[in-house]
Amino acid sequence: MGIQVIQDKCTGCTLCVKTCPFGAVTVVKKKAVIDLHKCTLCGACVDACKFKAILLEKETVQKSSVDISGYKGVWVFAEQKKGKVQSVSYELIGKARELADKLDTYVGAILLGHSVEDQAQELIWSGADTVYLVDAPQLANFQDEPYTTVLVELIRKYKPEIVLTGATFIGRSLVSRVAVTINTGLTADCTGLDIDKEKKLLLQTRPAFGGNIMATIVTPNHRPQMSTVRHKVMPLPISDKHKKGKVIKEVFSLDQLNSRSKLLDVVEEVENLVNLAEADIIVSGGRGLGGPENFKLLEELAQVLGGAVGSSRAAVDAGWIPYSHQVGQTGRTVAPKIYFACGISGQIQHLVGMQSSKIIVAINKDPDAPIFKVATYGIAGDLFEIIPSLTKEFKKILKV
Amino acid sequence: MNIIVCIKQVPETTEVRINPETNTLIREGVKSIINPFDLYALEEGVRLKEKFGGKVTVVTMGPPQAESSLREAVSLGADEGVLVSDRAFAGSDTWATSYTLSCAIRKIGQESGGFDVILCGKQASDGDTAQVGPGISTFLKIPQVTYVKKIEEIKEKSARVERMTEEGYDIIQVPLPVLFTVVKEINEPRLPSLKGMMRAKSAKLITWSGKDIQADPNGIGLNGSPTKVVKIFTPPPRTGGQMLRGETPDIVGKLVSELRSEVH
Ligand SMILES: Cc1cc2nc3c(=O)[nH]c(=O)nc-3n(C[C@H](O)[C@H](O)[C@H](O)COP(=O)(O)OP(=O)(O)OC[C@H]3O[C@@H](n4cnc5c(N)ncnc54)[C@H](O)[C@@H]3O)c2cc1C
Ligand SMILES: Nc1ncnc2c1ncn2[C@@H]1O[C@H](COP(=O)(O)O)[C@@H](O)[C@H]1O
């Protein structure tokens, strides 16, 4: 695979420069030079060249030729933000441990960041046997390209049979790139993982059509088998301070850590302090709140319970609360322990975003509101009366 | 500016059922729409065109009837529509879909002097994978920014955008050509205009097969898909629990004691 300019034939006419859709060709000293970083091997220049001076060998997409028996180990991408590994990654370490025990292999954690070595210990205590650590200033914050390069290189070097990643904003962007680059399958947003003992395959179960259908998916002939996994569906492992493991440090060149996109700033929105995806309790409001000021009622309850505030789309569209709080088909999918739906009618587009919550409490004036069809506890009543009273009662028993 | 928008035709509701005998989705009788997130991608593409000139090409991979979604996209401001359709694409997973779309986009680029921005929705409402956008940019070897909630500025072949995160957003500078996947917050899509609807009726759409886009037969359809679905089932539907009745203090007291073990 590759592209090359046959020096003898090139006349420096610049026809190829003009045709290249990617601006990848320049003429230096009367010869065409192709910048492989920009070139996508599209072949436009080959057709344009009147002198047959450009040679392109197209990579044939090769399939199923991997020897899958050479792949061992269950890996977890340990997502860190501001130097702290996220809870979903620990949940996955716990799951990886279980899968690795069934396969009689080891658990690896991939930790990329800057000055993050202190996080390795907890990963080991949670169940990792080996932590692969890549520490570099360029990796302090997530960036698609360097993170992809590093993960791809590590996978090529150590050949894990399974790679799990949280189905977070970062995880989904990153491993989609990685899976295509190393030519393997990726199953999104799994809620169940198990091993087919006979075939030694990872069984990946995930919801589709907003949870109305479940599908179990395998990657039979490619390795590693990769999945992103939803928050909060795997239990957190118990930390064992006697557990031993090793840390392997890997070093990458500046070139490999290069990123065409540059992160200029990280903005945290104050009202988002409790992350919806990670919250154990979510108090959501809809059009029934009647106005933006009334979200305060929900904030008070959420605060007492240590939860986050969510909303229906109607409340977002009315401009009462930012989009980042929206739950549902065109917002976030959440599955907390308790989901309070206050003044939300329960249209299907909202339900698909929250119906896998453990407990659903619905408060709605209308006793026929569809939300009651999925509610564990339904209250047909006025939220303005019930919410403040709930807040008060919880405050009492939780002593906050 | 040459803008390409990837749109997917999906069933209108997510209330699909499966045929218990054949274990396949029952699709008959369900209306098809453009994936909701893709409407935001399209609107953003049309706005970029209005600001910088150029054209918007919509591309979809799907069965022949996906043509209606392309026409709808024209009524919403797209200039050209490309349907990538071939029996051999059947059974494509996200790897094969990204590969196929990347071949089609390369061809669009070759025929119209390259492209600057590719827009995708954040995810499709039927598959919910959010993998196809990043897959396409990887095959094309171009940078990507996912979950874009605002394009702040584009100048001198470089864009500054905001990417949504769990805690807020990142501000990112990225050179063109680039692929963005967009979230709903990015804009408010317009309704079709009368002129647009007239144009949509007569718009000439292009259809390409796998051969036309020079896709490697081993990279498409079921053959080209590393993942295989082995089982499909409907989870037991969530049923309602109990209604709490009585005066507010009773209801609240009851609820608090029921939830007590879950809150700390
Ligand atoms: C393509 C598409 C995508 C969509 N995506 C989403 C999505 O991601 N998320 C989402 O939420 N929606 C989404 N929707 C919109 C969805 O269909 C509903 O319109 C929306 O969820 C309704 O919001 P709501 O329940 O807050 O408002 P309403 O349906 O107006 O319900 C308000 C409820 O509040 C009750 N109420 C009023 N006053 C009180 C009171 N004092 N006390 C108690 N109850 C009271 C009323 O009885 C009513 O049931 C989408 C729609 C489409 C077409
Ligand atoms: N068959 C398709 N044709 C065109 N675009 C698609 C197709 N499938 C996915 N996409 C694009 O990729 C995005 C993400 O889809 P998905 O990865 O399936 O969730 C969608 O919002 C579309 O923009």
The span from the CA of A114 to the CA of A152, in Å, is 19
> Residue A17 has what pLDDT?
85
Average pLDDT over residues A224-235: 92
Tell me how far apart the alpha carbons of residues A216 and A59 are, in angstroms, rounded to a whole number. 31
Whose tokens are 């970083």? That residue is A37
Cα-Cα-Cα-Cα dihedral sign, residues B118, B124, B127, B130: positive
Q: Report whether A72 contacts A157 (CB < 8 A).
A: no
Output the residue whose Cα is nearest ligand 1's atom 51. Answer: A349
Task: Flag whether pLDDT at B27 surpasses 90.
Answer: no
CA A50, chain centre distance (Å): 47
Output the pLDDT for position B235: 76
Mean pLDDT within A209-232: 89
Longest CA–CA span in chain A (Å) reads 86
Q: Which residues of B touch A337 (CB under 8 A)?
A: 262
Structure tokens of B161? 């955008």
User: What is the C-alpha to C-alpha distance for residues A265 and A276, in angstroms, rounded to an integer?
Assistant: 22
Looking at chain A, the whole-number percentage of residues with pLDDT higher than 90 is 74
pLDDT surpasses 60 at A52: yes
Distance from the Cα of B198 to chain A's closest Cα (Å) equals 30
Least confident of A184-188, A233-237, B114-118: A233-237
Alpha-carbon torsion angle B59, B61, B62, B67, nearest 10: 10
Spatial CA neighbour of B127 closest among A23, A186, A75, A144: A186
Predicted local distance difference test score (pLDDT) of residue A238: 94
CB contact under 8 A, A219 and B238: no
Q: How far apart are CA A239 and CA A276, in angstroms?
A: 25
Q: Please state the atom number of ligand 1 nearest to the C-alpha of residue A330.
A: 8
Is the pLDDT reported for residue A62 higher than 50?
A: no
Beta strands in A269-397 (DSSP E): 281-285, 308-311, 338-342, 359-364, 377-380
- Helix or strand or coil: residue B33? strand
Whether the per-residue pLDDT at A59 is higher than 50: the answer is no
- Return residues 285-304 of A near B (CB < 8 Å): none
Instruction: In whole angstroms, give the CA distance from residue A43 to residue A29.
Output: 23
Question: CA dist A106 to A97, A101, A160, Å?
Answer: 8, 8, 9
What CA–CA distance (Å, rounded) separates A366 from A351? 17
Where residue B14 falls among pLDDT bands split at 50, 70, 90?
low
3-state class of B199 per DSSP?
Answer: helix
Interface test with B, best of A58, A62, A180, A190 (most B CBs within 10 A): A180
What integer best gives the mean pLDDT of chain B? 91
Residue to substitute in B105, B132, B208 for testing ligand 2 pocket (most ligand atoms within 8 angstroms of CB): B132
Cβ–Cβ of A378/B258 closer than 8 Å?
Answer: no
Rounded Cα gap, residues B183 and A173, in angstroms: 14
Omega cis (within 30) before B192 = no
**How far is it, in rounded angstroms, from Cα B199 to Cα B197?**
5
Of residues A243 and A20, the one with the higher pLDDT is A243
Q: How far is B183 from chain A (nearest CA, A)?
A: 8
Residues of A in contact with B177 (CB under 8 A): 21-22
Which of A20-24, A332-336, A386-390, B217-221 is predicted least confidently?
A: A20-24
Which residues of chain A are within 8 Å of residue B243 when distances are taken between CB atoms?
367, 372, 378-380
CA distance A285 to A295: 7
Ligand 2 centre distance from Cα of residue A241 (Å): 45
Q: Contact, B101 vs B214, CB < 8 A?
A: no
**Mean pLDDT confidence for A264-284:** 82
Residue of B11, B177, B241 with shortest CB distance to A376: B241
In whole angstroms, give the CA distance from residue A110 to residue A103: 20
Q: What's the distance, Cα to Cα, between the start and end of chain B in Å?
A: 55
Chain B contact present for A261, CB below 8 A: yes
Residues 6+ apart with CB under 8 A from B257: none
Residues in chain A within 8 Å Cβ distance of B225: 185
| pLDDT tens-place string over residues B205-259 | 999 999 999 999 999 988 899 998 888 777 777 778 899 999 999 999 999 999 9
Q: How many CA atoms lie within 13 A of B150 on its CB side?
A: 9
Q: Is the CB of B2 under 6 A from ligand 2?
A: no
Long-range contacts of B23-29, Cβ-Cβ distance < 8 Å, separation of 24 or more: B23/B231, B23/B232, B24/B232, B25/A213, B25/B232
**Given a cut of 90, is residue A273 above it in pLDDT?**
no
Ligand 2, atom 18: nearest CA belongs to which residue? Answer: B124
B120 touches chain A (CB under 8 A): no
pLDDT score for A38: 62
Q: In the prediction, which pLDDT does B76 show?
A: 97
Res A291 pLDDT > 60: yes
Alpha-carbon distances of A217 from A93, A196, A311, B93, B131, rounded to whole Å: 21, 11, 32, 11, 15
Sequence length of chain B is 264
Q: What is the mean pLDDT of residues B139-146?
A: 97
Q: Which of residues 351-380 of A touch B (CB under 8 A)?
A: 352, 355, 358-359, 361, 367, 372-380
Test B94 with A222 for CB contact under 8 angstroms: no
- Predicted confidence band of residue B17 (pLDDT cuts 50, 70, 90): low
**Choice from B83, B85, B120 to test ligand 2 binding pocket (greatest atom count within 8 A of CB):** B120
The DSSP bridge pattern shows strands A308-311 and A359-364 to be: unpaired
CB A282 within 8 A of CB A340: yes
The answer to whether A120 touches A87, Cβ cutoff 8 Å, is: no
Q: Which of B115, B110, B4 is closest to B57 using CA atoms?
A: B4
* Of the listed ranges A137-146, A167-176, B25-34, B101-110, the one predicted with least confidence: B25-34
pLDDT-based confidence at residue A22 (cuts at 50, 70, 90)? low
Considering only residues B5 and A50, tell me which one the structure prediction assigns the higher pLDDT: B5
Task: Reduce the DSSP state of residue B96 to 3 states and report it.
Answer: helix
Cα angle value B15/B19/B22 (rounded, 5°): 145
pLDDT in tens, A117-170: 999 999 999 999 999 999 999 999 999 999 999 999 999 999 999 999 999 999
Say whether B234 and A220 touch across the interface (CB within 8 A). no
The arithmetic mean of pLDDT across residues A243-250, rounded, is 97
Residues 220-239 on B with a CB inside 8 Å of A are 223-235, 238-239
Residue B197 β-bridge partners: none
pLDDT at A40: 63
Q: Cα separation of A281 and B106, whole Å?
A: 46
Q: How far is the CA of B123 from the centre of ligand 2 (A)?
A: 6
Distance CA B65, CA B67 (A): 5
Average pLDDT value for residue range A224-245? 94
Residue of B20 and A212 predicted with greater confidence: A212
How far lies A175's CA from each of A115, A155, A279, A361, B103, in Å? Answer: 23, 12, 24, 35, 21
Q: What is the dihedral of CA B48, B51, B54, B58, to 10 degrees?
A: 30
The predicted-structure confidence for A300-347, as pLDDT tens digits, reads as follows 999 999 999 999 999 999 999 988 899 998 888 898 999 999 999 999
**Tens digit of pLDDT for each residue in B46-72?**
999 999 999 999 999 998 999 999 999
User: Tens digits of per-residue pLDDT, B143-171?
Assistant: 999 999 999 999 989 999 999 998 889 99
Mean pLDDT, range B87-95, rounded to an integer: 89
Q: Which of A166, A210, A257, A228 is nearest to A352 (CA)?
A: A210
CB of A255 closer than 8 Å to CB of A313: no
Q: Give me ligand 2 centre to Cα B120, in Å.
A: 7
Write the DSSP assignment of A79-91 as a string of letters. -EETTEE-HHHHH
**Are B79 and B26 a contacting pair, CB within 8 Å?**
no
